[in-house]
């Protein structure tokens, strides 16, 4: 290694991340610096990859893609491999599907789209960055559909999806960055697929306004008990840390948070009930992870855990937040522990805060109503002697 290369490795690197799809509006948990900027390399992009949930997602597609000016943002990591791992976690994919271009590297790393690599490297050489990374997934349309990608077939595929999946696929395309205009997106817009007016039959004749009671998201001054299962700790620890982060962000003090660890999910209801019976906590958060196996054990445990947590909440009057994942596969659990589907631990924490405040609001309202003077009766009393 030359002295120049050693010096370059010693100093912190500026690593750029390229984006053209959902990564731009929803980068979390990707660690980035600043905002996304238009002006990345122009690449061939299309909605030609079928995801696990049925959506057509954006990927580099040299054969069917349209020229799209990508966007870029700086990674918070100063080491290339750290930035790569960060993007792998966000995208839920392996190392081979993350493209890397290093301005100072003597050798070119292999990538899935060599033609795109040239444009990316040319852009990098003119930029302020030392390296750039991107999601390098391939189109799998022919593999999934057993036919080549066409606009008409893509529309037929989308229309064949179940209602919920179709709505999700529609939303994904509609919310893609405006700069990402592909042939399919324009085609779907022309065919009315992206402009369907939903639930027309549900429109009321007049707007009815009823004041609703709601709990806010302030955890200040409140105490929370968190029961977490040690089984599948790889997942539950991520859920726990996100739940704690959510509570602190809402204003809770660390001294007001009590974490209780139990062996597995089956033990969660018992521990939650014990905490609730003390009346020291405004809400209980239950965190665990159940993965389906080859026997009926999964179904038995899932039902008992859900029943036990619900029963504890109803009988004690203390709100319980359900942060127990019930997944078919480990991949689904990982997605729900901070990847593509958010973090259910964070969501459970917010639910606990809201329900704790809602209970307080309802209790105050009930107290006021009970103390209000009773109305005098307008009826007259008849003297029975008359």
**Length of the chain measured in residues:** 386
Decide if 297 is catalytic: yes
Residues 241, 230, 235, 310, CA torsion sign? negative
pTM over 0.75: no
Q: Tokens 């349209």 sit at which residue?
A: 66
CA atoms of 235 and 325, how far apart (whole Å): 9
Q: Is the pLDDT confidence value at 311 over 90?
A: yes
Distance CA 304, CA 282 (A): 24
Per-residue confidence (pLDDT) for residue 10, from 0 to 100: 56
Q: Is 222 helix (H, G, I), strand (E, B) or coil?
A: coil
Please check whether residue 245 is in contact with residue 285, taking contact to mean a CB–CB distance below 8 angstroms.
no
In a domain, 382, yes or no: no
> How many structural domains compose the chain?
2
Residue 242's domain is classified under what CATH number? 3.40.50.960
Residue % of the chain over a pLDDT of 90:
66
Q: Is residue 231 included in any domain, yes or no?
A: yes
Torsion angle of the four alpha carbons 147, 151, 153, 158, in this order, in degrees rounded to the nearest 10 = 120
Whether 2 maps to a domain, the answer reads no
Tokens found for residue 212: 């609703």
**Statement to judge: residues 140 and 256 lie in one domain:** no
Helix (H) or strand (E) holding 49: strand 32-50
* Catalytic, out of 77, 104, 113, 297: 297
- Residue 283's domain comprises 224-365
261 in the same domain as 186: no
Give the pLDDT of residue 3: 53
Is residue 248 domain-resident? yes
Distances (CA, A) of 94 to 88, 98, 115, 120, 337: 6, 7, 21, 21, 17
- pLDDT digits 0-9 by tens, 257-293: 999 999 999 999 999 999 999 999 999 999 999 998 8
Planar angle of CA 360, 365, 366, nearest 5 degrees: 100
């Amino acid at each position: 290694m030359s002295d120049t290369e050693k010096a370059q490795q010693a100093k912190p690197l500026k690593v750029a991340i390229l984006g053209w799809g959902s990564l731009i509006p929803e980068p979390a948990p990707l660690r980035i610096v600043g905002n996304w900027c238009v002006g990345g390399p122009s690449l061939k992009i299309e909605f030609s990859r079928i995801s696990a949930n049925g959506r057509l997602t954006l990927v580099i597609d040299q054969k069917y893609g349209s020229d799209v000016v990508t966007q870029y943002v700086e990674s918070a990591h100063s080491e290339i491999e750290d930035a790569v791992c960060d993007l792998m976690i966000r995208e839920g994919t392996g190392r081979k599907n993350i493209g890397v271009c290093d301005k100072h590297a003597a050798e070119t790393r292999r990538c899935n789209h060599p033609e795109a690599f040239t444009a990316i490297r040319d852009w990098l050489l003119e930029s302020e960055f030392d390296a750039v990374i991107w999601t390098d997934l391939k189109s799998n349309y022919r593999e999934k559909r057993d036919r080549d990608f066409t606009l008409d077939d893509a529309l037929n595929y989308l229309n064949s999806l179940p209602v919920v999946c179709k709505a999700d696929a529609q939303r994904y395309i509609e919310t893609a960055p405006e700069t990402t205009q592909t042939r399919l997106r324009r085609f779907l817009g022309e065919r009315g697929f992206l402009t369907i007016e939903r639930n027309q039959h549900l429109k009321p004749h007049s707007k009815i306004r009823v004041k609703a009671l709601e709990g806010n998201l302030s955890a200040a001054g409140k105490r929370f008990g968190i029961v977490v299962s040690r089984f599948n700790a790889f997942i539950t620890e991520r859920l726990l840390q996100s739940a704690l982060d959510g509570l602190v962000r809402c204003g809770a003090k660390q001294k007001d948070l009590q974490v209780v660890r139990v062996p597995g999910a089956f033990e969660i209801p018992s521990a939650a009930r014990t905490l609730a019976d003390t009346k020291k906590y405004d809400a209980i958060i239950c965190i665990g992870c159940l993965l389906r196996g080859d026997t009926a054990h999964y179904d038995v445990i899932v039902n008992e855990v859900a029943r036990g947590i619900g029963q504890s909440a109803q009988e004690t009057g203390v709100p319980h937040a359900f942060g127990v994942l019930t997944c078919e596969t480990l991949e689904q659990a990982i997605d729900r522990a901070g990847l593509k589907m958010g973090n259910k631990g964070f969501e459970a924490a917010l639910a606990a805060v809201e329900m704790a405040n809602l209970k307080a609001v309802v209790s105050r309202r009930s107290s006021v109503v009970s103390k209000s003077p009773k109305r005098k009766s307008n009826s007259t009393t008849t003297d029975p002697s008359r």
